[in-house]
Amino acid sequence: MPTRSQNWLKFGGLATVAFALGLLIAGLLNLPAGSWALQRPAKGGSIITPVSDIPSTPALKSLEALSDAFSSVAEAVRPSVVFVSSQHTETAAPAPTLPPGWDQFFPHGMRSKPQVERGTGSGFIVSSDGYILTNNHVVAGADKVTVRLIDQREFTARVIGTDPATDVAVIKIDAHDLPPLPLGNSDATHVGEWVLAIGNPLGDNLAFTVTQGIVSAKGRRLDGLSQAGQRSISDYIQTDAAINPGNSGGPLVNVRGEVIGINSAIASETGYYSGYGFAIPINLVREVMDQLVAHGKVDRAQLGVLVQDATANDAAYVGLDGIRGVVIQDFGDDASPAKKAGIERGDVVISIDGKPIDRVAELQQTVAFKHPGDQVAVEVARRGGIRKVINVRLTASDSADTTKLVQSGGGRGGATATAPNAGAPLGVSVRPLTSDLADQYQLTDQIHGLVVTDVDPNGPSAQFLADESAGGPDIITAVEGKPVKTEADLRNALKAAGPGAIVTLDLYNARTDARRLTRIRLASGNNGS
């Protein structure tokens, strides 16, 4: 295509310029004389004779060793990476009925052809007899899956099982004596660690490409990033190794050649590499793979909770020495195993089976490695520095999510409250939820409380509560677990807490029909309330 040709020409021009600049810079840097010796050519020879007399230094030897290490890993890993192509055929729409007399113009009728969709991606061999790991979105809905090895042999693959929630799929080809890749320990990876990404970016033309970078972060959520889909995991490995469409399903390996993740998504406004890629941790992949191979599906356990990462207010409220843990926002239903075991809304989960839980991703992964019927010891922190270990027997999950992340409310307020009112210590204005307002917001008779009408953008609730202009309105239904229906109820509850205290609010968002819990530190003065 003309555009692609122009781009390659531009790249070639830049390379030529770079080469010329390189010669200039070499002169400026005073490289050893004779590095490039201009000589009268011998008959049929070149006028430029390269001379290798750059002195060896410890720094140079270190760089050479690093380069050799990357080359060795790439050479060892590439034969285990495969090119995956999928094909999905859409059934042709029924031919429309022709008006009388039109048969002569369409003797064979008006037939629509089936639409064939094709896609490409990557994968890697995990057993010598042909099991291959890839992404679910590479093979989802495919009528035919083809695998090509680096030696150009092609095989038709069978889909053993897929898991949309984690974007993992297992496929198999009928082959033997294949070179499987060793699976590493993604929990042991560190930010700053060197990694290689190997796959087939942008399809056939760039098949079996190797890119290098570092682990730039761990425990990332995708939240709308390119290719994220509807995935429930929130513990991705972030890397700056170049990953593009077509890399999906390929391995992210460490310097020992061990797989630490499956390349799955990119953060990009254009759909192409913009500096950051994301890989599914291999420890989670291994658990999913084992179940897919054994059963063709994944049976998930659940705590039956809705959660969010603890804030500074949450940590202070329950007496933690730092911001850590996961707040229980609500329960899926009354059958929630966590609720039945005695866990309460507002509890901060700080460990499971003795393993520290600092954020939602860690809770999610910990539960994901369990099975229905397993019992886990959940340590929670409560108000006043109370610590309690509660044994919970996990149940089977009906959905892909083991936990659900609940986002805090918007909190970008409108105008500053202009007069002292019951919500002044919170930095908000409120009004009772009347029947007219309930009708306006289409609320049920079960919703009672105070409607947030204004949020002070500089007040303590600015990042936590929302009025109608900022994604609300939020309705305050309870303070410290006690219902509030009138302004007097709210005023008394806040006065009892005292200036500067942290209070727990139960909220209902009229726009999203969602309940949540949040903790806010009151203003240091009651401001007339």
Question: Three-class SS of residue 382?
Answer: strand
Pair type for strands 305-309 and 404-405: parallel
479 with 410: CB under 8 angstroms? no
What pLDDT was estimated at residue 151?
93
Round to whole Å and give the CA distance between 193 and 189: 7
Query: Which token pair is 255?
Result: 């310097």
- Same CATH topology for 67-91+116-298 and 301-405: the answer is no
Segments in 31-78 forming alpha helices (H): 58-77
CATH architecture of residue range(s) 424-521: Roll (2.30)
Rounded CA gap, 442 and 510, in Å? 8
Which of 276, 232, 181 shows the shortest CA–CA distance to 401?
232
Round to whole Å and give the CA distance between 401 and 390.
Answer: 22
CA separation for the pair 487, 474 (Å, rounded): 15
Q: Which fold has domain 67-91+116-298?
A: Thrombin, subunit H (2.40.10)
- Confidence (pLDDT) at 74: 92
Residues 507, 404: contact at Cβ < 8 Å?
no
**Alpha carbon distance 245, 206 (integer Å):** 11
pLDDT value of position 418: 36
What is the separation of C-alpha 307 from the centre of its chain, rounded to a whole number of angstroms?
Answer: 17
Give the pLDDT of residue 121: 93
Q: What is the pLDDT of residue 77?
A: 94
Neighbours of 35 (CB within 10 A): 13
Instruction: Give SS3 for 43.
Output: coil
Domain boundaries, the chain: 67-91+116-298, 301-405, 424-521
Query: SS3 of 185, please?
Result: coil
Distance from C-alpha of 124 to C-alpha of 177, rounded to nearest angstrom: 14
Distance CA 328, CA 346 (A): 5
d(CA 87, CA 364): 33
The amino acid occupying position 185 is N
- What is the dihedral sign for C-alpha 392, 395, 401, 406? negative
Residues belonging to the active site: 137, 167, 248
Query: Could you tell me the mean pLDDT of each successive run of 10 residues in the chain, 529 residues long?
Result: 35 34 39 42 60 75 86 93 89 62 58 73 96 95 94 95 92 96 95 94 85 90 47 77 89 95 83 82 94 91 90 94 93 89 95 93 85 94 94 82 49 38 86 88 86 91 88 91 92 91 92 89 65
Break the chain down into helix, strand, coil percent, rounded to 5: 25, 30, 45
Q: Which residue has the tokens 């061999």?
A: 125
What angle, rounded to 10 degrees, do the helices at 360-368 and 282-295 form? 30
Whether domain 301-405 has CATH 2.40.100.20: no
In this prediction, residue 368 carries a pLDDT of 82
Query: What does the chain come to in residues?
Result: 529
Distance between CA 102 and CA 109 in Å, rounded?
9
pLDDT at 414: 37
Is the torsion defined by CA of 268, 272, 276, 281 positive or negative? positive
Are the C-beta atoms of 180 and 148 separated by less than 8 Å?
no
Residue 11: CB partners within 8 Å, gap ≥ 6? none
| Nearest by Cα to 314 from 501, 522, 520 | 520
Helix, coil or strand: residue 500? coil
Alpha-carbon span 82 to 220, nearest angstrom: 27
Task: Kindly state the helix (H) or strand (E) to which residue 352 belongs, with its residue range.
Answer: strand 348-352
Residue 402 to residue 234: CA distance in whole angstroms: 11
CA 149, chain centre distance (Å): 29
- Spatial distance between the Cα atoms of 265 and 225, rounded to a whole number of angstroms: 7
DSSP 489: H
Going by C-alpha positions, the residue among 151, 170, 158 that lies closest to residue 83 is 151
What does each C-alpha distance from 356 to 23, 176, 231, 338, 404 come to in angstroms?
Answer: 56, 43, 24, 18, 19
The phi, psi pair for 269, rounded to 5°, reads -85, -15
Q: What is the pLDDT of residue 43?
A: 57
